[in-house]
Each structure stands twice: as structure tokens, then as C-alpha cells.
Structure 1
Amino acid sequence: MTTSTDKLRNIGPKSAAWLRQVGLRTREDLAAAGTVEAFMRVKRAGFKPTLNLLYAIEGALQDCHWQEISEARRGELIAAAEAAIALLPPPRYKPAAAPVTTTQMGEDTMAMPTLFDEPAERE
């Protein structure tokens, strides 16, 4: 029987939506990808998953509450996820915009025409 990720133990609505968006729609899809690969697909898609998602996926696959996952297994999952994250290309940051300054025009300064000013009449 095919079980939707919407119905899996530990997988809430937000996590289920993330998993669907990366092509993991059933328990079978999740099992085929594996815990770390499923987590990495979500991360590579631009979402910001936490370790709770990693544990939730493992718990869903093991059919246990995520808090029941042993410390040793959690350590293995973290190490594998960190190794996979290290292989990701560095994020592309957009350079910060230059600071915006406002110039006040005084009465003694001649106003510059703008695109919306009426053109001067020609003689």
C-alpha cells in the first residue's frame, strides 16, 4: 500500500509540502531516497530545514517517534548531512546596495528639471 507523506508519522504539513515539492510524495519515495538524501533535496530546493526534519524523516521510515531515535543514530545522520552540505556550492549572495542618501535642495539652488516638468516654450 502506498502511503502519502501527508500521512506519515512525524511529518507535519509544512514538511510534507516540502517533500512533495522535491518529488517525495510517498513513503516508498522517501525510503528509496533515504533519510539524508531526502533532507538534502529539501535543502537544495532552497528551503531551510532543521535537524528536526532529518530526525522526523528517519522516524517516519523507522515508524517511531523522532525522539526515540538513538543518540548514536542521530550522530550518524548529522555527520552524513554535514558531509553532504559541505559538498554544496557556496551560496550566491547579492552584493549589498550602496547606501541611499537624500539631498535637500535649498532656495538658493536652482532646481533641476525633471521628466515631468513642462518643456520650456521655444522662441
Structure 2
Amino acid sequence: MHPSQSELLQLKNLGLASVNILHSIGIRTLDDLRRVGPVEAFINIRGRGINASRVMLYALQGALLDVHWNDLDPVLKANLVDEAERQLARKDSA
């Protein structure tokens, strides 16, 4: 499937560039994103050498919740960042 035909493009916060990045880590459907989750997807993106910011992490969570990333609860954003940082630190120390 060509990225421009992806169901991911129908989700809030995800444009063609984001969808291409998701496809590069094997996420091609909403179900894939749900299964992997925003934190693991973000870590996989970073693991491919893509310098994704926290906004990408927020955008992935917002896509799953059908909420603009900027409207996510600040506590949820902080929890996402904490979890991502913990997992990245574990991978760096392994």
C-alpha cells in the first residue's frame, strides 16, 4: 500500500511524513499502532536514527485518542515522556 493510501492519514496529528516514518518501522494500520503503542513506536522511530521530538510522541498518543496532541492532558504528556525516557535509558544501558 502506498503511504498516501494509508488509513493512518485519517488519524488526527498524522500527516504524510509521519505516516512514512510509521511505515518505516512496520506500523501500517491503526491496529498496528494500537498494538505497539505510542511509546514503543516513538522508541522504534528514534532507534532508526530519526530525530523525533516529544511532539511526535504526543501526536501518536493523540492519534489513538482522536485528540489534537496539544490538547492532551499535561499529566498524560509527562507520563509518556517519563516512560519513553525510562525505556530509552534501559536500551542505552543494555
- The TM-score, its normalising length taken from structure 1, stands at 0.67
Q: Which residues of structure 1 form unaligned runs of 5+?
A: 91-123
Matched, 1:79 2:82: yes
After superposing on structure 2, the runs of 4+ consecutive aligned residues of structure 1 that deviate more than 3 Å are none
Question: Which of 12, 34, 41 is the equivalent residue of 2:44?
Answer: 41
Task: Give a deviation string over 1:94-120, Cα, whole Å, max 9, x none.
Answer: xxxxxxxxxxxxxxxxxxxxxxxxxxx
Question: Which of 7, 17, 27 is the equivalent residue of 1:4?
Answer: 7
Q: Which amino acid aligns with 1:68?
A: D
Aligned pairs (5 A) from 1:43-82? 43-82=46-85
Q: Which amino acid aligns with 1:81?
A: A
Kept in 2: contact 1:9–1:59 (CA 8 A): yes
Kept in 2: contact 1:55–1:66 (CA 8 A): yes
- Structure holding more helix per residue: 2
Aligned to 1:29: 32
Kept in 2: contact 1:9–1:65 (CA 8 A): yes
Q: Percent identity?
A: 33
Moved more, 43-52 or 4-13: 4-13
Aligned to 2:3: none
Q: Which residues of structure 2 form unaligned runs of 5+?
A: 1-5
Q: Which amino acid aligns with 1:22?
A: I
The alpha carbon displacement at 1:6 in A equals 2.5
- 1:20 & 1:78 partners in 2: Cα distance? 22
Q: Which has the higher contact order (CA 8 A, sep 6+)?
A: 2
When Rg is computed on C-alpha atoms for both structures, the one with the higher figure is 1
